Amino acid sequence: MNEKPKHNLVYLKPVRKHLRHHLTPAEAALWSLLKNSQLEGRKFRRQHSIDNFVVDFYCPEEHLVIELDGEVHNNPDQQDKDISRDKKLEEAGFKVLRFENKFVFEHREQMLNDIKACFKDKLKTTPSCEHPSFVRRGAETAYSFNAGVSSFPGKGKVPAGRKGFELF
């Protein structure tokens, strides 16, 4: 992803459309909080493609990707794919936040605060979520930013199942 990433490639339109029409309960709940620029006036898109990746939510103004993760992402093979995918997106200049699905329901305010922490401050050019102490939220374990590269300690909880896949 060294060149400028391509958004919403035509051949992925049927995939994006299918995913938008079949949201998980967690995605539907988060979408209800993000749509219509409800979160500090930021516009979000759902099931947006960036190159060959379909991401759950994308805020163009902040170059922010939000992924919701279910049980499928607890699999070590899937975790490796998620790490690789996040690294590629981060190398292309995107910030990636991952939350476990149940976090949307059990810790809604904390999740929204974590998302807002990634918004560029009007007076600063560096988003606060890139600070090394910022923690990505999961249920039993959290994984944190490490100089812009995702890291998953041990058997950390990672993203939810059917989306965020690569089409190569």
Q: Please write the tens of the pLDDT for every residue from 68-87.
A: 988 787 788 889 999 999 99
Q: For domain 10-150, give the fold.
A: Endonuclease; Chain A (3.40.960)
Domain boundaries, the chain: 10-150
pLDDT at 65: 98
pTM of the model: 0.73
46 pLDDT exceeds 60? yes
DSSP line for 52-104? TEEEEEEETTTTEEEEEE-GGGGSHHHHHHHHHHHHHHHHTT-EEEEEEHHHH
